[in-house]
């Protein structure tokens, strides 16, 4: 393969250079294994542990001093208790379903808002485009918390929106949006919009505008041209954008906590409550494991979409 | 040749950007409100800013946050540059797909999961939580963002440039130092800023991994926000937005000046 | 008299302060092979886009088949276009690309299948129907684009620099294929090109454009032999230019050629006054001896190029100007002229074209 050959040709830089070349890969690789992969294994391990009072608040705990026999005794303490609890308690199932539902709905809304915006940006005169990109991404650089806070100020019963609507006489009673599922949706859409716009813009900007013209020329109405040409050709961007919004949104904690209420069930909050309020670490770990399994397919799909664009293009 | 840009498109852009910017604009506007009520305009005032600067707790947290952000952004760029270079240059190696997966997973992983995993990891290996555990957490996520940003730049730059340098007698290390690094510099600046803001902004990871004495600014803001809206938060927000805006502007000027040469 | 297929009446189009198309009037007959020729930026592409409906004129009218196209979008116009980049839909097979226009018209499935097969046969791509555009060579893509544009039976096919992306050998072959297809189908073709050879080889009539205006319309021979302007003379083919003055005397009209004597002119030549005299290289005469019967200059052969079918000499006149002369190599006398020879070059009255400006 030409790939391998190329590497070899460049890599003949003596021992020191070869070592350097290896370190460049090994250090970040090892870092991610240590601080990302292994912690997940520990989550799985603790999810089959049992809650107890003390530090740490779970058992078994492996100590070197216990020796082999002690370790074996500890292993026997593992149990599926936490998973059984998740299965038995309807609140978890509801929270998972509701999280996926809210995230899916928010993803759809983000797509509906983001697509026209990304399309308009991609079709704008060339000299505007880099400015438009900066404008679309800039809110992402401002604090996430602050942006959620801004919506509290706007959506509260006595907030700016109701104040404005009442003072213009459009409504007499405040609309109740804050602390509802609607507010959570708005918060997710608002926070994640840049993540949707960027991949969409990248996909749309690459499209040759002559393709749409060719479709129009061949008798397609503007809508037909969009449906048959623009949309299918932007599919890769649509998928990447949707996954980029959907996956983190399912596990979102801050937005439902600040903009929602206890009635807006989301699994991120359940996990948090389990962990900090109930101090049930095995329970929280089990909730996290199930969530991870749930998200495995979209996460792998997301990685594959990147592997296709970057990995293969190399 | 010149596709006409319709009014419909302009309307979409205006509406879209209004949605993105009006909330932030309102936030800034009301930070100068003399009234304590967020919805009633009581005249222009900077009293919330004055109050802010006498809030010692907040100032300490800000300092902590800035320190964490600086250290973790530096680590992120260092690790990210290595990872991006490895991805772009090492060709096919065993576990390349796994490495790719490890880079991309943290980008989308819900923060509660990452946070919990890191916390349980720190407890399991017996590390006391504090400043450095937050730095480790932020660096881990930050390096993945940095890798993606730098890799994008490396992927589009011509590998033959490096080969040409070596052909002209540069050793691999020199070629990297003299050719690759200067070309990647703008991406590294961007990666640093990205990792820096992500760290400065993070609430979930920090709450899992910080210990007593390392309370970050977002954690303080969060507890205040949960207590209810207050113009003081608007004031902090405005200052943070201004800082980011200035940083972005400086970065743009710096990289723009370079690119112009 | 049949109505013209396309009528452009005083059409103008402005972009910012650039007049891309400036008061253009022209007509196309059904079944005609017409070419818009001009340098890049002359407005030929804009004019074509006005016909296709991608642009609307600021002034003037575009009529197709006698129908005013004002407000008619591209998808309702009976013209199709072959794009310079081919603009093949990358996510569709060759078959689906070709069927695209027919699907939009809501044709029956059976008809579409037959028509697609017919088109594939026409462009000699049988068996390629299932391929994707990225699996085709440049020449094959070009033919798919042609088939796609022809499938809905347009009244006019617009071809935007159709050969620009092909290599030289393929280009010539494709020229003949396009002409064959055009003759067989009897559809009017409007070719847009900056390549004079392409236009002259294929088109029955050529409109030469410059800065948004039409300089000259006519068949290839007319433009080549009787260029209407200096621009036309220089843009199409090689040309030698001489300064001169048209005078009227008792014996008739003459042109005094600066430094080269005089030639008699036909009576219908325009006004007396200063002119540029244009002569094609193959119309020049060259000899070792002074002939004296026509405009003549002494010079030295500066260089010569043997091109197989003909030989081109460049002769440096005493005032330093270079004159170009070409002769078919069927003429055995060519061997007598080589570099450094003292020669006399000139032209006869009927070879010369008087141009104002």
pLDDT tens-digit profile of A103-152?
Answer: 999 999 999 999 999 999 999 988 888 889 888 888 877 788 888 989 99
Structure tokens at A121: 């940006």
Cα separation, A249 vs B203, in Å, equals 15
Q: Is residue A241 part of a domain?
A: yes
Q: C57 to chain B: which residues are within 8 Å by CB? A: none
The answer to whether C209 and C43 have CB atoms below 8 angstroms apart is: yes
Token pair 């907040």: residue? B58
Q: Is residue A13 part of a domain?
A: no
Q: For domain C238-355, give the CATH number.
A: 2.40.50.100
The answer to whether C227 and C278 have CB atoms below 8 angstroms apart is: yes
pLDDT for the residue numbered A2: 38
Percent over 70 (pLDDT), chain B: 92
Q: A266 to chain B: which residues are within 8 Å by CB? A: none
What is the rounded end-to-end Cα distance, in angstroms, of chain C?
38
pLDDT for the residue numbered C243: 86
pTM of structure: 0.85
Structure tokens at A275: 């962990």
Any idea what DSSP says for residue C350?
Answer: G
User: Where exactly are the structural domains of chain C?
Assistant: 6-234, 238-355
- 226-255 in chain B: CB under 8 A from chain A: 226, 229, 233-234, 236-237, 240-241, 244-245, 248, 252
Structurally, what CATH architecture does the domain formed by C6-234 represent? 3-Layer(aba) Sandwich (3.40)
CATH number for the domain that contains residue A113:
1.10.3720.10
Using a 10 angstrom Cβ sphere, with 0-12 exposed, 13-18 middle and 19 or more buried, the burial of residue C211 is middle
Q: Is residue A20 part of a domain?
A: no
Sorted by sequence, the CB contacts under 8 Å of residue A125 that are 6+ apart come out as B5
**Of residues A62 and B222, which shows the higher confidence score?**
B222
Which of C104, C142, C147 should one mutate to test binding to chain A, selecting the residue with the greatest count of A CBs within 10 A?
C104
Which of B16, B77, B228 should one mutate to test binding to chain A, selecting the residue with the greatest count of A CBs within 10 A?
B16
Q: B252 to chain A: which residues are within 8 Å by CB? A: 134
Instruction: Name subunits touching A (3+ CB pairs < 8 A).
Output: B, C
B201 interfacial to chain A (CB closer than 8 Å):
yes
The answer to whether C227 and C233 have CB atoms below 8 angstroms apart is: yes
Q: Is residue A284 part of a domain?
A: yes
Q: What is the average pLDDT value for chain B, to the nearest integer?
A: 85
Q: How far is A234 from chain C (nearest CA, A)?
A: 11
In this complex, the residue of A220, A228, A229 whose CB is nearest that of residue C75 is A220
Is B256's pLDDT higher than 70? Answer: no
Is B1's pLDDT higher than 70? Answer: no
Q: How far is B216 from chain A (nearest CA, A)?
A: 13
Put simply, the answer to whether A217 touches C73 (Cβ < 8 Å) is: no
User: Where exactly are the structural domains of chain B?
Assistant: 55-260
Question: A58: number of CA atoms within 13 Å, CB side?
Answer: 26
Q: For domain B55-260, give the CATH number.
A: 1.10.3720.10
B143 interfacial to chain A (CB closer than 8 Å):
yes
Put simply, the answer to whether C45 touches B2 (Cβ < 8 Å) is: no
pLDDT for the residue numbered C268: 67
Q: Is residue A183 part of a domain?
A: yes
> Which stretches does DSSP call E strand in chain A?
50-51, 58-59
Q: A220 to chain C: which residues are within 8 Å by CB? A: 75, 100, 104
Q: Is residue A237 part of a domain?
A: yes
Put simply, the answer to whether C75 touches A210 (Cβ < 8 Å) is: no
A209 interfacial to chain C (CB closer than 8 Å):
no
Q: A226 to chain C: which residues are within 8 Å by CB? A: none
User: Among residues C165, C112, C111, C168, which one has the least CA distance to residue C141?
Assistant: C165
Q: Count of A–B CB contacts within 8 Å?
A: 275
3-state SS, residue C266: coil
Put simply, the answer to whether C73 touches A216 (Cβ < 8 Å) is: yes
Residue numbers of chain A with a pLDDT score lower than 70: 1-17, 63-66, 309-314
Put simply, the answer to whether B108 touches A302 (Cβ < 8 Å) is: yes
Q: Is residue A55 part of a domain?
A: no
How many separate domains does chain A show? 1
Percent over 90 (pLDDT), chain B: 36
Q: Count of B–C CB contacts within 8 Å?
A: 4
Name the residue range of residue A141's domain.
85-311
Q: B2 to chain C: which residues are within 8 Å by CB? A: 15
In this complex, the residue of A211, A213, A218 whose CB is nearest that of residue C101 is A218
User: What mean pLDDT comes out for the span B231-249?
Assistant: 84
pLDDT for the residue numbered A8: 40
Q: What is the DSSP string of C108-176?
A: -HHHHHHHHHHHHHHTT-TT-TT--GGGS-HHHHHHHHHHHHHTT--SEEEEESTTTTS-HHHHHHHHH
Residue numbers of chain C with a pLDDT score lower than 70: 1, 267-271, 293, 357
Q: Is residue A122 part of a domain?
A: yes
């Amino acid at each position: 393969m030409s790939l391998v050959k190329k590497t070899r040709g460049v890599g003949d830089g003596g021992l020191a250079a070869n070592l350097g070349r290896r370190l460049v890969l090994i250090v970040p690789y090892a870092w991610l294994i240590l601080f990302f992969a292994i912690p997940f294994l520990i989550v799985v391990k603790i999810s089959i542990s049992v809650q107890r009072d003390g530090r740490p608040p779970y058992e078994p705990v492996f100590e070197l001093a216990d020796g082999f026999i002690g370790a074996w005794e500890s292993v026997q303490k593992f149990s599926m208790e936490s998973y059984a609890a998740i299965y038995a308690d309807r609140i978890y199932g509801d929270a998972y379903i509701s999280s996926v539902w809210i995230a899916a709905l928010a993803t759809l809304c983000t797509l509906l808002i983001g697509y026209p915006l990304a399309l308009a940006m991609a079709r704008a005169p060339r000299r505007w485009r880099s400015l438009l990109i900066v404008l679309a991404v800039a809110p992402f650089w401002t604090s996430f918390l602050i942006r959620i806070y801004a919506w509290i100020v706007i959506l509260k019963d006595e907030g700016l929106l109701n104040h404005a609507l009442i003072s213009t006489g459009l409504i007499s009673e405040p609309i109740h949006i804050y602390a509802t599922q609607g507010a959570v949706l708005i918060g997710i859409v608002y926070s994640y919009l840049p993540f949707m716009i960027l991949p969409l813009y990248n996909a749309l900007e690459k499209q040759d505008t002559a393709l749409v013209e060719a479709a129009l020329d061949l008798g397609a109405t503007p809508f037909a041209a969009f449906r048959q040409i623009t949309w299918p050709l932007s599919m890769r961007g649509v998928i990447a954008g949707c996954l980029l919004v959907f996956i983190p949104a399912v596990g979102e904690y801050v937005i439902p906590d600040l903009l929602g209420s206890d009635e807006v069930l989301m699994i991120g909050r359940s996990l948090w409550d389990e962990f900090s309020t109930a101090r049930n670490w095995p329970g929280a770990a089990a909730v996290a494991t199930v969530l991870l399994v749930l998200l495995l397919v979209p996460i792998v799909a997301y990685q594959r979409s990147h592997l296709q664009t970057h990995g293969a293009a190399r | 040749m010149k596709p006409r840009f319709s009014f419909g498109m302009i309307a979409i852009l205006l509406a879209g950007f209004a949605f993105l910017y009006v909330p932030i604009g309102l936030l800034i506007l009301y930070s100068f409100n003399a009234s304590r009520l967020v919805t009633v305009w009581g005249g222009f005032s900077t009293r919330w800013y004055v109050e802010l600067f006498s809030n010692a707790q907040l100032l300490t947290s800000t300092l902590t946050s800035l320190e964490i952000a600086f250290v973790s952004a530096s680590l992120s760029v260092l690790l990210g540059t290595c990872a991006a270079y490895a991805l772009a240059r090492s060709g096919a190696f065993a576990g390349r797909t796994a490495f790719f997966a490890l880079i991309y997973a943290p980008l989308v992983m819900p923060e509660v999961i990452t946070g919990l995993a890191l916390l349980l990891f720190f407890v399991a290996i017996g590390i006391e939580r504090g400043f450095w555990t937050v730095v480790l957490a932020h660096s881990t996520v930050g390096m993945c963002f940095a890798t993606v940003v730098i890799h994008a730049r490396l992927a589009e730059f011509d590998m033959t440039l490096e080969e040409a340098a070596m052909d002209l007698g540069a050793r691999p290390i020199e070629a990297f130092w003299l050719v690759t690094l200067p070309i990647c510099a703008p991406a590294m600046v961007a990666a640093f800023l990205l990792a820096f803001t992500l760290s400065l902004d993070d609430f979930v990871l920090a709450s899992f991994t910080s210990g007593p004495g390392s309370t970050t600014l977002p954690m303080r803001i969060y507890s205040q926000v949960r207590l209810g809206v207050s113009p003081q938060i608007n004031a902090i927000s405005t200052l943070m937005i201004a800082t980011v805006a200035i940083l972005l502007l400086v970065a743009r000027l710096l990289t723009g000046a370079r690119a112009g040469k | 008299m049949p109505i013209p297929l396309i009528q452009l009446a005083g059409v103008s189009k402005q972009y910012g302060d650039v007049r891309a198309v400036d008061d253009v009037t022209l007509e196309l007959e059904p079944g005609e092979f017409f070419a818009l020729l001009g340098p890049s930026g002359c407005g030929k592409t804009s004019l074509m886009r006005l016909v296709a409906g991608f642009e609307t004129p600021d002034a003037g009218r575009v009529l197709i088949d006698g129908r005013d196209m004002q407000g008619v979008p591209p998808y309702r116009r009976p013209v199709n276009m072959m794009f310079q980049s081919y603009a093949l839909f990358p996510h569709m097979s060759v078959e689906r690309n070709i069927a695209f226009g027919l699907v939009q018209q809501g044709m029956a499935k059976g008809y579409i299948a037959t028509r697609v097969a017919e088109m594939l046969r026409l462009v000699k791509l049988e068996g390629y129907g299932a391929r994707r555009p990225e699996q085709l060579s440049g020449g094959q893509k070009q033919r798919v684009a042609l088939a796609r544009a022809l499938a809905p039976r347009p009244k006019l096919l617009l071809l935007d620099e159709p050969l620009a992306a092909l290599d030289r050998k393929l280009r010539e072959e494709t020229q003949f294929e396009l002409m064959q297809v055009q003759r067989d189908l009897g559809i009017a073709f409007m070719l847009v090109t900056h390549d004079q050879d392409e236009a002259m080889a294929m088109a029955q009539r050529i409109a030469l454009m410059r800065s948004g205006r039409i300089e000259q319309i006519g068949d290839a021979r007319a433009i080549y032999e009787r260029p209407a302007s200096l621009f036309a003379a220089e843009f199409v083919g090689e040309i030698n230019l001489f300064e001169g003055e048209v005078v009227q005397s008792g014996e008739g009209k003459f042109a005094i050629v600066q430094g080269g004597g005089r030639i008699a002119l036909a009576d219908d030549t325009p006004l007396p006054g200063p002119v540029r005299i244009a002569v094609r290289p193959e119309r020049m005469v060259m000899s070792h001896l002074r002939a004296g019967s026509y405009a003549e200059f002494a010079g030295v052969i500066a260089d010569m190029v043997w091109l197989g079918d003909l030989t081109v000499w460049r002769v440096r006149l005493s005032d330093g100007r270079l004159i170009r002369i070409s002769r078919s190599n069927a003429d055995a006398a060519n061997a007598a002229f080589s570099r450094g020879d003292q020669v006399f070059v000139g032209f006869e009255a009927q070879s010369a074209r008087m141009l104002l400006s």
